[in-house]
């Protein structure tokens, strides 16, 4: 009798707590770039996130979503202040962001210290799902290592032996090149030169001259956003397009093709999304996105959409009560996210385990060529969870 009463009281208390949570709005702190070379990437992530929330009627697990936004300017020097404002001044319940790896690492540090749930919707910094990994930190995107590692094999199989790499000198560029080098050199190739410009510099001329003089079999590169547009156009203008094939992590040609025009035609890249997946799930997503925003979606939109799906999976496991942190995390760990890119789960260190596609630019699209690496998991080096 006592046991029955205790159980009844406990479930009544749980029901009352759920009701209280259902009445409170859930504050999502969106920290994304609204200015600078990554501005359009930030817009696509926010659009994707909002699309999923709209599809759920504006609520996740009964809680209305309220957004608090910060333009992080892709500036790591301002990142700690910006994230502290969201957490301490605005009292956000969840953090979602950002594009730049250096900014995201600062966010992860504060999220880890404060226990604030954090879903990384782009930045691929290895540290976030490596040494800095935490119960409350998840990624809906990729690790910088993943597309680079997949491309090393592709370039080796094409028969190229000597490659020059060129990228921005910061975590994303360094790690993308390291991933490429790891698989390319394992397959017998050699990276003969690693060229860099500081982020967000786009003065490529001197380095393109150096590439022409080195005469490698191919070039591997990581650039994104406005920098990727400029690099592809400068590579073509320098006359290198026909003599030295250009390969890249797919950010080189995602969300950039309108601006790159014919200069991008034929470029092969690796990424966890393609414009031509032609699955019912992706087609429905693309249609809904185009209808709501009058824009074509890209990989960043998918990552935003999936960040919202991951949040929904965690919230559903705790019926909207974010104070149940371990159960919230377990909800995401167990989820199979029905992504437009194809379904995925997260690894032990909370990074998507996903197919990496080989794509080729044809017209204004990244057309699917095949799967470069099936169910590729980031090694999560240094993560203790």
3-state secondary structure of 371: strand
The Cβ-side half-sphere exposure at 178, using a 13 Å CA radius, reads: 14
Query: Nearest distance from residue 210's CB to ligand BEZ, in Å?
Result: 24
The footprint of ligand BEZ on this chain (CB under 6 A) covers a number of residues equal to 11
Site for ligand BEZ in 224-243 (CB under 6 A): 224
Backbone angles phi, psi at 137, to 5 degrees: -115, 125
Q: Contacting ligand BEZ (CB under 6 A), which of 39, 60, 99, 164?
A: 99
CA dihedral of residues 344, 59, 108, 148 (deg, nearest 10): 30
Measured between alpha carbons, how far is 108 from 132 in angstroms, rounded to an integer?
Answer: 7
Contact (CB, 8 A) for 165 and 197? no
Taking CB under 6 A as the rule, which mask of x and - marks residues 174-213 in contact with ligand BEZ?
----------------------------------------
Sign of CA dihedral 352, 357, 361, 366: negative
Measured between alpha carbons, how far is 125 from 142 in angstroms, rounded to an integer?
Answer: 9
For helices 101-114 and 171-186, give the axis angle rounded to 10 degrees: 110
Q: Which is nearer to ligand BEZ, 41 or 60 (CB)?
A: 41
100 touching ligand BEZ, by CB under 6 A: yes
123 touching ligand BEZ, by CB under 6 A: yes
Q: Contacting ligand BEZ (CB under 6 A), which of 118, 247, 251, 328?
A: 251
Query: Nearest distance from residue 326's CB to ligand BEZ, in Å?
Result: 28
Q: Which is nearer to ligand BEZ, 150 or 313 (CB)?
A: 150
Query: Nearest distance from residue 68's CB to ligand BEZ, in Å?
Result: 23
119 touching ligand BEZ, by CB under 6 A: no
Q: Which is nearer to ligand BEZ, 41 or 244 (CB)?
A: 41
The answer to whether the bond into 381 is cis (omega within 30° of 0) is: no
Measured between alpha carbons, how far is 122 from 305 in angstroms, rounded to an integer?
Answer: 11
Q: Contacting ligand BEZ (CB under 6 A), which of 61, 82, 140, 144?
A: 144
Q: Which stretch binds ligand BEZ (CB under 6 A): 117-125, 239-247, 335-343, 373-381?
A: 117-125
Query: Nearest distance from residue 227's CB to ligand BEZ, in Å?
Result: 9
Measured between alpha carbons, how far is 174 from 194 in angstroms, rounded to an integer?
Answer: 9
Q: Which residues here bind ligand BEZ, judged by CB under 6 A?
A: 99-101, 122-125, 144, 172, 224, 251
């Amino acid at each position: 009798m006592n046991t029955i009463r205790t159980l009844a009281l406990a479930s009544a208390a749980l029901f009352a707590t759920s009701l209280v949570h259902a009445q409170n709005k859930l504050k999502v702190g969106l920290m994304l770039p609204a200015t600078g070379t990554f501005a359009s990437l930030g817009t696509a992530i926010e659009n994707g996130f909002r699309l999923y929330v709209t599809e759920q009627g504006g609520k996740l697990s009964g809680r209305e979503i309220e957004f608090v936004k910060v333009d992080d300017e892709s500036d790591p020097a301002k990142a700690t202040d910006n994230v502290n404002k969201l957490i301490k001044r605005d009292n956000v319940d969840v953090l979602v962001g950002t594009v730049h790896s250096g900014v995201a690492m600062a966010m992860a540090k504060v999220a880890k210290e404060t226990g604030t749930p954090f879903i990384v919707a782009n930045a691929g910094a290895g540290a976030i799902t490596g040494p800095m990994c935490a119960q409350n930190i998840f990624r809906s995107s990729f690790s910088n290592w993943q597309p680079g590692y997949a491309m090393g094999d592709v370039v080796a199989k094409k028969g190229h032996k000597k490659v020059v790499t060129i990228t921005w000198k910061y975590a994303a560029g360094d790690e993308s090149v390291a991933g490429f080098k790891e698989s390319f050199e394992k397959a017998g190739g050699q990276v003969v030169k690693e060229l860099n410009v500081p982020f967000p510099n786009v003065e490529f001329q001197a380095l393109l001259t150096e590439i022409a003089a080195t005469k490698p079999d191919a070039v591997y590169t990581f650039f994104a956003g406005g920098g990727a547009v400029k690099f592809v156009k400068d590579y073509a203008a320098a006359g290198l397009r026909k003599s030295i094939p250009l390969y890249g992590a797919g950010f080189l040609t995602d969300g950039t093709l309108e601006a790159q025009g014919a200069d991008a035609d034929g470029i092969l890249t690796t990424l966890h999304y393609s414009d031509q997946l032609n699955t019912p799930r992706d087609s429905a997503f693309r249609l809904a996105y185009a209808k709501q925003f009058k824009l074509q979606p890209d990989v960043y939109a998918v990552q935003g959409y999936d960040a919202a799906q991951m949040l929904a999976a965690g919230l559903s496991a705790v019926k909207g009560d974010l104070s149940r942190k371990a159960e919230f995390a377990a909800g995401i760990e167990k989820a199979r996210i029905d992504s437009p890119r194809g379904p995925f789960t997260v690894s032990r260190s909370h990074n998507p385990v996903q197919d990496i596609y080989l794509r080729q630019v044809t017209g204004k699209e990244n057309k699917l060529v095949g799967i470069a690496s099936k169910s590729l998991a980031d090694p999560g080096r240094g993560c203790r969870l």
